Amino acid sequence: MKVLITGATGLVGSALTELLLQNGLKINYLTTNKNKIEHQPNYNGFYWSPESGVIDENCLIGVNTIIHLAGASIAKRWTSKYKQEIIESRVLSANLLFNALKNNPHQVKQVISASAIGIYPDSLKNYYSEDFKKFDNTFLSNVVVKWEESINQIERLNINVCILRIGLVLAKNGGALPEILKPIKLGLGSPFGSGKQVQSWIHIHDLANMFLYALQNNLQGTYNAVAPTPVTNYELNYSAAKILEKPFFMPNVPQFVMKLILGEMHTLLFESQNVSSKKIKEKGFVFQYKLIQSALNQLLYK
Ligand SMILES: NC(=O)c1ccc[n+]([C@@H]2O[C@H](COP(=O)([O-])OP(=O)(O)OC[C@H]3O[C@@H](n4cnc5c(N)ncnc54)[C@H](OP(=O)(O)O)[C@@H]3O)[C@@H](O)[C@H]2O)c1
């Protein structure tokens, strides 16, 4: 079985690539960076540029499933130019995949795409399942709605579409965790704002396994990709400080300070999304890391 991955060179893509190769799958991947193109027996890179509408269509040869992860990072300052890139890297890439599938012979039966829980409004009260539809008008929510619409058009080609709305990915060597740990390691750990905002997280190992599970079980539809027990921002920071045996008594970081430092992107640290994993569990997916303590123990100790 051969899988085409976009964004294979990123944080999630690298973990997923390793897992799929271990499971005997062959991988083609699309990259926007020609220097990242490699050719190995089961791992072959192809060039694309969603911005210019360019794709090496040979990437589709022999492929049964596409896993779409590509997108410009949201963890950079949101200037108006960069906001455009965040949206376009997702929408134009999905459109390019749609057109490549429409205009070329292929055997693709399923497309699995990353999405994000940023689609759900900031709330301390709501508990979000996948059927929630009252999205608000924030930048992130609009990005994700457009991202999902552009992916869902692929259903028109009689291909199964599965969308995983990913929460905060916890990994050892990338993403948010190393940044969260920086002040804690200096003994300066503290929650952001009230610390009551809920962070729906997922261990990278469980996320990679969830993509594999969606592939092996030909899942269709939208699933939240978050661990079964979201935590408050206080619990997340406190648990990390405790495992690292660091003090945790600094005053909470006020929102206006982070707004000055990060601009509009500061909302990522202060928004609350309590998200349910019930739907994917009912499909039979089993999480290895259900509690933040076990996830952090594994990531911080080994
Ligand atoms: N990490 C998280 O906590 C998290 C949470 C929710 C959702 N997600 C979503 O899950 C997906 C994977 O996340 P990740 O953390 O692995 O991201 P990542 O490390 O930033 O990797 C994303 C990949 O996308 C490609 N890319 C970057 N800019 C691009 C552009 N302008 N046009 C086309 N491709 C571009 C790059 O691959 P090449 O250089 O090879 O082209 C990059 O390796 C992303 O779409 C992300 O938004 C992540």
What is the overall mean pLDDT for the chain?
Answer: 95
Listed by start position, the domains of the chain span: 2-170+202-226+275-287
Q: Which residue from 165, 169, 170 has its CB within 8 A of the most atoms of ligand 1, so it is best to mutate? A: 169
Mean pLDDT of 85-113: 98
The alpha carbon of 209 and the centre of ligand 1 are apart by a number of angstroms equal to 18
CATH class of domain segment(s) 2-170+202-226+275-287 = alpha beta
How far apart, in Å, are the Cα atoms of 279 and each of 50, 114, 227, 237, 290? 32, 16, 12, 28, 15
The pLDDT value given to residue 262: 82
Please tell me if the CB atom of residue 175 comes closer than 6 angstroms to any atom of ligand 1: yes
**Looking at ligand 1, which atom is closest to the CA of residue 13?**
16
How far apart, in Å, are the Cα atoms of 191 and each of 194, 242, 252, 286? 7, 14, 5, 30
Contact present, 222 and 10 (Cβ < 8 Å): no
The pLDDT value given to residue 75: 86
Residues 163-184: tens digit of each pLDDT: 999 999 999 999 999 989 999 9
The pLDDT value given to residue 43: 97
Three-state helix/strand/coil letters over the chain: CEEEEECCCCHHHHHHHHHHHHCCCEEEEEECCHHHCCEECCEEEEEEECCCCEECHHHHCCCCEEEECCCCCCCCCCCHHHHHHHHHHHHHHHHHHHHHHHHCCCCCCEEEEEEEHHHCCCCCCCCECCCCCCCCCCHHHHHHHHHHHHHHHHHHHCCEEEEEEECEEECCCCECHHHHHHHHHCCCCCCECCCCCEECEEEHHHHHHHHHHHHHCCCCEEEEECCCCCEEHHHHHHHHHHHCCCCCCCCCECHHHHHHHHHHHHHHHHCCCCECCHHHHHCCCCCCCCCHHHHHHHHHHC
User: Is the CA virtual torsion 92, 76, 301, 275 positive or negative?
Assistant: negative
Question: Is 70 exceeded by the pLDDT of residue 302?
Answer: no
Mean pLDDT of 29-45: 97
**Looking at ligand 1, which atom is closest to the CA of residue 70?**
24
Q: Whose CA is nearest to atom 38 of ligand 1?
A: 31
The alpha carbon of 178 and the centre of ligand 1 are apart by a number of angstroms equal to 17
Query: Is the pTM value of this prediction over 0.85?
Result: yes
- Model confidence at 22, pLDDT cuts 50, 70, 90, reads very high
Please tell me if the CB atom of residue 85 comes closer than 6 angstroms to any atom of ligand 1: yes
The alpha carbon of 90 and the centre of ligand 1 are apart by a number of angstroms equal to 9
Amino acid identity, residue 83? K
The alpha carbon of 6 and the centre of ligand 1 are apart by a number of angstroms equal to 9
The alpha carbon of 245 and the centre of ligand 1 are apart by a number of angstroms equal to 32
Residues 227-272: tens digit of each pLDDT: 999 999 999 999 999 999 999 988 898 888 888 888 888 888 899 9
Question: Is 60 exceeded by the pLDDT of residue 297?
Answer: yes
How far apart, in Å, are the Cα atoms of 187 and each of 37, 134, 246, 292? 41, 41, 6, 20
The pLDDT value given to residue 249: 85
Percent of the chain residues topping a pLDDT of 90: 89
Contact present, 227 and 201 (Cβ < 8 Å): yes
Please tell me if the CB atom of residue 89 comes closer than 6 angstroms to any atom of ligand 1: yes
Q: Whose CA is nearest to atom 2 of ligand 1?
A: 169
The alpha carbon of 247 and the centre of ligand 1 are apart by a number of angstroms equal to 34
The alpha carbon of 73 and the centre of ligand 1 are apart by a number of angstroms equal to 6
